[in-house]
Amino acid sequence: MRSAREEYERRLKAYTRLLGKQTKRVNTTSILRLAVFVIGIAITGILIYLKYPYLSISSLLVTMIVFTLLVVQHRKFKDNKKYTETLIKINETSIKRTEGQWKEFKDSGEEFQDEEHNFSGDLDIFGRGSLFQWINSAVTHLGRISLKDRLTVFNDSIEEKYKIQEAVKELGSTLGFRQKYMAEALMNKDNMNNPEVLFKWAGEKHERYKKTWLSIATKIMPLLPIGALLALLLVPGFTYKVLLLAILINILFLFPTNVERQNVLSEVAEYKKSLESYYKMVRLIENKNFKSEYLNELKKKLTDSNGVKASKQLEELQEIISLISDRSNMFYIIINIIFVLDYRIMIRLENWKENSGKHLETWIRTIGEFEALSSISVISYENPKWVMPEFLKDIDKISAKGMGHPLLGEKRVCNNFIMEMPAKVLLITGSNMSGKSTLLRTIGINLVLSYAGAPVCAESFKCPIMKIYTCMRVSDNLEKNISSFYAELIRIRNIVDASKSDDKIFFLLDEIFKGTNSMDRHEGARVLITQLSRAGAMGLVSTHDLELGTLENESGGRIKNYHFREYYEDDKIKFDYKLRPGVSTTRNALYLIKLAGIEVEDNKKGY
């Protein structure tokens, strides 16, 4: 079985070969189109010169028909070429991800960063070097929002989470579907803006266009100019003034609400490209047979109460929008006057909104849900050795075998980890750079993956459903005039308040109370850790304060000590990043000070 990298490379080669053929096809039809036009016009000119009127007209008609067919074919070939180029780009991007170059990807979800969120900032969920940047394959506005919610909001029950796991595994195995699905969105990427205006339009009603008399009038009004024209051609002595009068009547009929129609039709026309992609993405979902219950539940949302498929209804909307796009044609004004097309289009639009408009938001949100799940399934496909977590219902326990940080790639060092009753808090000590903070983030981000329905970076992983809170990266907020120390207090207060609720709480605290003196820091940390352990919250606390290690004996087993250590080889500091029980027994501050070029002994003499 091919690895993900090998399959991406195979597809890249296949699509590159196809692109070569398609490029030749596009160039050939382009040359042929020009040749037909030049030769056809030349022959027509010669026939006119030779005074063969019927042959010249026939030649011109044949030329225009063949030329038009070639234009349509050329456009189709160009679209196919662009689609193949998009698939090539997707596979090139996928190869970069497997090579660890994903931090170069433009979409890092930076706009989703939220300093006030319970954990996303500390666990690198968004921004440069983030989980979002690593896995995101969502292109549409709501697809990206859906992925953001999947990684930060965990309201699903355990049963739902297992369903999502099955959906993610199934999507992971359907690489062809996922790449085509993403390609359809990328074809019109620049048009995938926030569809809220479209949703608003779909819900707006213009009752005047539902009137029966107007529907009858739009059928009758074209008969006036058409009948007058036929009479002018066939009836001797029929005056052209009647034709002009008929045209004037139609113009006056079109005049009322002209500005309103212009605004409505122009607004929806802006979504032509994005609706084209939505339609094709819906078609891909509808034509795919899924096994997982969750995916089939999502798929059912792409039908209305009468069982009519969303693709059929979106196709009808596309036809209407194509008519709207024709309004920019120079001949449209003439056709509009004769056939009162503006009214006909508005009536069709209102009928469509009446029957299908209320479903549009559900369809587009469902498209986004599939994008989010496809993004998460990237983890499953590219990391087949990672495992889906097991969720514990009534047991406060986290256990993992071979757990590593998913964003560190080959640099990661894996640890076995267990946290179970009566222990509620693990106190992690160790010297600088030994791995304390990384361990906290490793556990935190793997919990995020678990709750999102993704596999985790471990050989086995079990956990209960908990609400995650962190206090790790805290900085000054000049805009709100908040110091880092006060910002840290706010975070800690939120954790304390949450621990008093009925929810299961999991917290990660990294070197708390850094902004105060050592005595207050020690006492504050001691009181906080004791209070959280008594409240029943679970969590990890990293600290340099080795004296906090005495809490293990004082807590009745609720607090356990673990540590990381360093060693020296050839007068160089080394770390194995392995978690061990007990309090740290080593220190490296003086070594690091010397590494910075500070002469420790001279400074001592100076004092």
pLDDT at 595: 63
Distance separating alpha carbons of residues 528 and 197, to the nearest angstrom: 48
Given a cut of 80, is residue 351 above it in pLDDT?
yes
Domain of residue 343: give its range: 117-382
Residue 226 has pLDDT above 90, yes or no: no
- What's the token pair of residue 291? 């096994």
Q: Residues in the chain, how many?
A: 607
Does residue 95 sit in the same domain as residue 144? Answer: no
| Cα radius of gyration (the chain) | 34
Are residues 485 and 342 both part of a single domain? Answer: no
**pLDDT recorded at residue 384:** 95
State the pLDDT confidence band at 606, using cuts at 50, 70 and 90: very low
pLDDT surpasses 50 at 605: no
pLDDT at 451 over 50: yes
Question: Are 59 and 47 within 8 A, CB to CB?
Answer: yes
Task: Give domain status of residue 454, yes or no.
Answer: yes
Q: If you average pLDDT over residues 161-186, what whole number do you get?
A: 97
pLDDT confidence bin for 373, thresholds 50/70/90: very high
Q: The domain that contains 407 carries what CATH number? A: 3.40.50.300
Place of tokens 């129609």: 261
Split at pLDDT 50, 70, 90, the class of 75 is very high
Residue 238: the pLDDT is: 77
Q: What is the pLDDT of residue 480?
A: 57
Q: Specify the 3-state DSSP secondary structure of 575.
A: strand
Tell me if 7 is assigned to some domain: yes
* Whether residue 435 is found in the same domain as residue 513: yes
From 346, 361, 382, give the residue that closes a domain. 382
Q: What is the per-residue pLDDT across 380-403, written as a single tens digit (0 to 9) for each?
A: 999 999 999 999 998 899 999 999
Residue 230: per-residue pLDDT: 85
Computed from CA positions of residues 602, 603, 604, 605, in that sequence, does the dihedral angle turn out positive or negative? positive
State which of 68, 101, 134 marks the end of a domain: 101
What the block records as the tokens of 417 is 């980890």
- Alpha-carbon distance of 462 to 5, in angstroms, equals 29
Are 359 and 478 found together in one domain? no
Percent of the residues in the chain that have a pLDDT greater than 90, as a whole number = 60
The total number of structural domains that make up the chain: 3
Task: Verify that 323 and 405 share a domain, yes or no.
Answer: no
pLDDT(204) > 70: yes
Where among 55, 75, 101 does a domain terminate? 101
Identify whether residues 518 and 408 lie together within a single domain. yes
- Between 247 and 480, name the one with better pLDDT: 247
The per-residue b/e assignment along 372-397, b for 16 or more CB within 10 angstroms, e otherwise, is bbbbbbbbbbbbeebbbbebbeeebe
- 403 with 423, same domain: the answer is yes
Report if residue 111 sits inside a domain.
Answer: no
Residue 239 lies in a domain: yes
What pTM did the predictor assign? 0.89
Q: Are residues 370 and 402 in the same domain?
A: no
Identify whether residues 325 and 213 lie together within a single domain: yes
Average pLDDT score over residue span 132-159:
96
Residue 516 lies in a domain: yes
Among 244-258, 281-295, 305-319, 583-597, the range scoring the smallest mean pLDDT is 583-597
- Statement to judge: residues 317 and 437 lie in one domain: no
Average pLDDT of the segment spanning 103-131: 95
Based on the fold, state whether residues 470 and 526 are members of the same structural domain.
yes
Q: What's the pLDDT band for 207 if we cut at 50, 70, 90?
A: confident
pLDDT tens digits, 228-254: 888 877 878 777 788 888 888 888 888
360 lies in some domain? yes
With a cut of 90, say whether residue 440 has pLDDT above it: yes
Asked if omega into 455 is within 30° of 0 (cis), the reply is no
**pLDDT value for 513:** 82
* Residue 6 in this model has a pLDDT that exceeds 50: yes
**CB 514: neighbour CB atoms within 10 A?**
12
Q: For residue 548, is pLDDT > 80?
A: yes
Residue 110 lies in a domain: no
Per-residue pLDDT averaged across 51-61, rounded? Answer: 89
The mean per-residue pLDDT over the stretch 456-483 comes to 82
> Same domain for 131 and 23?
no
